[in-house]
């Protein structure tokens, strides 16, 4: 065997034959780590010589002959967690949970252990904490079950042996970056080690039908640390989002082979751990100022769940040569696009103003249906005219100023009316398909618009009411 050294970037996994201070692929500094690999000597292939005996027995079989077990999913006991997973933890699946440090990943998984402690056998493997440290957190969360086993170890061989001896229903690895294979010369947490350890854990999950939940660290850009192939190898990838300074937490699925990738789980961080928020719309609008300008309610759909939230805008004269633009929870480029549309189509002067956009509560808005509410909040702040407290706006804006239709409009309207928002502005293309008599009977006013200019009627009505 020949030994060869190569350098691997621990951030992106890029391989080179020599060391660089700056990774040629991702541009990060001091991330190239040396790794030794063994090169197998190539043996000459002789014609007519068979390297392996030929099989005569068929191992594949028709898909309609495959039998499913009676219980393919295990309910974790935490409704929001099960929602994101698609109904529960699938037996034999591998779930990767990632998020910022201190966001609550270990707390959530320990609570899962507490909920499942009476119905199954769980093994919590920690490479970051000692058993006594885990016990301290378990007491705070009220977890005391003899079926929740704790094992503090980083050596992958010892971890696999423990799994074989204990034979648990669910294994939790906290975290994959702390695991290492003693047979590899790479340093702990490197791209090679993460790939080897994840591959072995996935093999165990598929051969023993044991569900494995893995915690993954993130780098400074927010992506999962280690090789990108790690996300391809596992069955489900979950991101735990939120501001550590606030109690609000979001669990979002970005990959799920057994369910939807649009579902989110909403949690509230309290002293006793993470508590489910079953009605996030009411939670997000509970602290809304009704008489302040620059605020507008909207309804977004996350998976099968409509959520009401508040988008806030602040437009002030700038004191800098170049106006400032800041967005929190809203796409920065989308904000600039909406400002440009309002300036071009309505003649509003945003080019000499500082613009700040914030989505209250820590939500991150990705769908275009939030364009109209953002535009109305910007106009409200610029003109210093409050938006009515019972008003909501839903719609996508085009570059020509047109208001385009969105999906799930009836579901959004029902969520708005449930919380007392009875004046709802929607695109005209959605309005023509609605049952108007039903909403008229309930006292709901639906305001259809074709373009951004027609959205100004809400401010005209407000001014008339004030007179």
CB neighbour class for 47 (10 Å; exposed up to 12, middle 13-18, buried from 19): exposed
At residue 71, the pLDDT reads 63
Q: Specify whether the CB–CB gap between 430 and 436 falls below 8 A.
A: no
According to the model, what pLDDT value does residue 313 have? Answer: 96
Q: How far apart are CA 28 and CA 164, in angstroms?
A: 40
DSSP codes joined into one string, 2-51? EEEEEEEETTT--EESS--SB-TTT--BS-EEEEEEEEPPPPPPPTT--S
Angle at 193 between CA 187 and CA 198, to 5 degrees: 155
Whether the per-residue pLDDT at 463 is higher than 80: the answer is no
- Whether 203 is in a domain gets the answer yes
Q: Give the Cα-Cα-Cα angle 80, 81, 85 (nearest 5 degrees).
A: 115
* Residue 311, domain member (yes or no): yes
Do 184 and 304 lie in one domain? The reply is: no
Of the three residues 278, 303, 323, the one that is the final residue of a domain is 278
The more confidently predicted of residues 448 and 439 is 448
- Give the pLDDT confidence of 28-74 residue by residue, as tens digits: 888 888 877 655 555 554 544 455 567 778 878 788 877 776 668 88
**What pLDDT shows up at residue 51?**
57
pLDDT tens track for 135-180: 998 998 888 888 899 999 999 999 999 999 999 999 999 989 999 9
CA atoms within 13 A on the CB side of 133: 11
The dihedral built from the CA positions of residue 108, 110, 115 and 119, taken in this order, carries a sign that is positive
Give, rounded to a whole angstrom, the gap between the first and last alpha carbons of the chain: 89
Strand order of the β-sheet with 32-39 is 15-16, 2-9, 32-39
Mean pLDDT of 311-325: 92
Could you say which DSSP state residue 64 is in?
Answer: G
Same domain, 241 and 213: yes
Same structural domain, 201 and 94: yes
367: number of Cβ within 10 Å: 13
Mean pLDDT of the chain: 86
Per-residue confidence (pLDDT) for residue 37, from 0 to 100:
66
Q: Residue 413's pLDDT band (boundaries 50, 70, 90)?
A: very high
Regarding whether 143 and 267 lie in a shared domain, the answer is yes
Do residues 198 and 233 make contact, with C-beta atoms less than 8 angstroms apart? yes
Highest-confidence segment of 117-126, 255-264, 344-353: 344-353
Question: How far is the CA of 162 from the CAs of 27, 83, 128, 158, 159, in angstroms?
Answer: 40, 31, 17, 6, 5
Clarify whether residues 288 and 261 are in a common domain. no
CATH number at 286 reads: 3.30.230.10
Q: What is the count of structural domains for the chain?
A: 3
447: helix, coil or strand?
A: strand
* Tokens 């990767």 belong to residue: 96
Q: Do 141 and 188 belong together in one domain?
A: yes
**329 and 347, same domain (yes or no):** yes
- Measure the CA–CA gap between 199 and 193, rounded to whole angstroms: 10
Three-state DSSP class for residue 117: coil
C-beta atoms surrounding 308 within 10 Å: 23
Place of tokens 């956009």: 357
Instruction: For residue 300, tell me if it sits in a domain.
Output: yes
Distance (Å, whole) CA 61 – CA 412? 46
Residue 166 falls inside a structural domain? yes
Planar angle of CA 166, 167, 172, nearest 5 degrees? 85
Query: What is the reported pLDDT for 243?
Result: 66
Handedness of CA 159, 164, 166, 169 (dihedral sign): positive
- Looking at residue 246, its pLDDT comes to 65
Q: Do residues 370 and 300 make contact, with C-beta atoms less than 8 angstroms apart?
A: yes
Instruction: Answer yes or no: is 64 within a domain.
Output: no
In a domain, 52, yes or no: no
What is the rounded distance in angstroms from the CA atom of residue 262 to the CA atom of residue 411? 16
DSSP letter assigned to residue 402: B
Report yes or no on 344 lying in a domain: yes
Q: How far is CA 163 from the centre of its chain?
A: 29
Question: Does residue 322 share a domain with residue 310?
Answer: yes
pLDDT, greater one: 225 or 350: 350
Q: Is the pLDDT confidence value at 437 over 90?
A: no
Residue whose entry in the numeric block shows the structure tokens 């541009």? 27
Q: Report which of residues 327 and 68 the model is more confident about.
A: 327
CATH number at residue 105: 3.40.50.300
Q: How many CB atoms are closer than 10 A to CB 8?
A: 23
174 shares a domain with 118: yes
Q: Which helix (H) or strand (E) holds 267?
A: strand 264-270
Domain boundary among 278, 309, 333: 278
Q: How far apart are CA 332 and CA 68, in angstroms?
A: 47
Q: Is the peptide bond before 140 cis (omega within 30 degrees of 0)?
A: no
SS3 (DSSP) at 157? helix
Q: Are 232 and 354 members of one domain?
A: no
Q: What was the pLDDT predicted at 242?
A: 74
pTM, to two decimals? 0.73
Do 13 and 102 belong to one domain? no
In a domain, 202, yes or no: yes
Q: Are residues 310 and 455 in the same domain?
A: yes
- What is the extent of the structural domain holding 390? 282-466
Residue 297 has a pLDDT of 93
pLDDT (average), residues 399-411: 93
- H or E stretch at 116: helix 105-116
Q: What percent of the chain has pLDDT over 90?
A: 44
> CA 434, CA 450: separation in Å to the nearest integer?
16
Give the residue from 221, 249, 278 where a domain finishes. Answer: 278
């Amino acid at each position: 065997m020949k030994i060869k050294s190569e350098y691997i970037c621990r951030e992106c996994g890029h391989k080179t034959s020599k060391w660089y201070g700056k990774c040629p692929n991702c541009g990060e500094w001091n991330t190239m780590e040396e790794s030794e690999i063994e090169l197998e000597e190539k043996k000459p292939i002789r014609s007519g010589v068979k390297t392996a005996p030929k099989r005569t027995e068929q191992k594949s079989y028709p898909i309609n002959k495959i039998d499913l077990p009676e219980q393919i999913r295990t309910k974790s006991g935490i409704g929001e967690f099960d929602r994101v997973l698609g109904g529960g933890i699938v037996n034999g699946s591998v779930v990767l949970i990632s998020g910022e440090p201190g966001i609550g990943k270990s707390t959530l998984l320990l609570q899962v252990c507490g909920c499942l402690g009476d119905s199954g056998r769980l093994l919590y493997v920690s490479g970051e904490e000692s058993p006594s440290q885990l016990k301290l957190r378990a007491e705070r969360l009220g977890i005391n079950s003899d079926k929740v086993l704790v094992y503090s170890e980083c050596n992958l061989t010892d971890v696999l042996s423990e799994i074989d001896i204990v034979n648990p229903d669910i294994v939790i690895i906290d975290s994959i970056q702390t695991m290492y294979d003693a047979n590899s010369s790479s340093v702990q947490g490197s791209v090679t080690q993460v790939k080897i350890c994840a591959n072995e854990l996935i093999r165990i999950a598929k051969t023993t039908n044991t569900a494995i939940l893995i915690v993954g660290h993130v780098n400074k850009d927010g992506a999962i640390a280690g090789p990108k192939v790690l996300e391809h190898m596992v069955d489900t990838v979950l991101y735990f989002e939120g501001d550590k300074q606030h109690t609000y937490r979001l669990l979002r699925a970005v990959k799920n082979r057994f369910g939807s990738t649009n579902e989110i789980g909403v949690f509230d961080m309290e002293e006793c751990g993470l508590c489910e928020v079953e009605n996030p719309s009411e939670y997000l609008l509970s602290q809304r100022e009704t008489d302040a300008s620059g605020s507008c309610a909207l309804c977004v759909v996350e998976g099968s769940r409509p959520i009401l939230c508040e988008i806030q805008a602040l437009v002030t004269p700038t004191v800098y040569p170049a106006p400032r633009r800041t967005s929190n929870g809203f796409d920065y480029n989308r904000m600039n696009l909406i400002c440009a549309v309002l300036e071009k189509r309505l003649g509003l002067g945003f080019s000499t103003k500082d613009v700040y956009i914030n989505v209250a509560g820590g939500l991150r808005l990705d769908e275009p249906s939030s364009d109209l509410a953002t535009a109305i909040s910007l106009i409200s702040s610029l003109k210093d005219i409050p938006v009515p407290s019972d008003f909501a706006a839903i719609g996508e804006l085009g570059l020509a100023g047109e208001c385009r239709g969105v999906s799930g409009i009836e579901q959004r309207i029902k969520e708005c009316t449930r919380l007392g928002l009875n004046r709802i502005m929607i695109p005209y293309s959605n309005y023509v398909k609605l049952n108007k008599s039903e909403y008229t009977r309930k006292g709901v006013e639906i305001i259809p618009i074709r373009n951004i200019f027609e959205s100004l009627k809400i401010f005209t009505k407000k001014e008339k009411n004030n007179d």
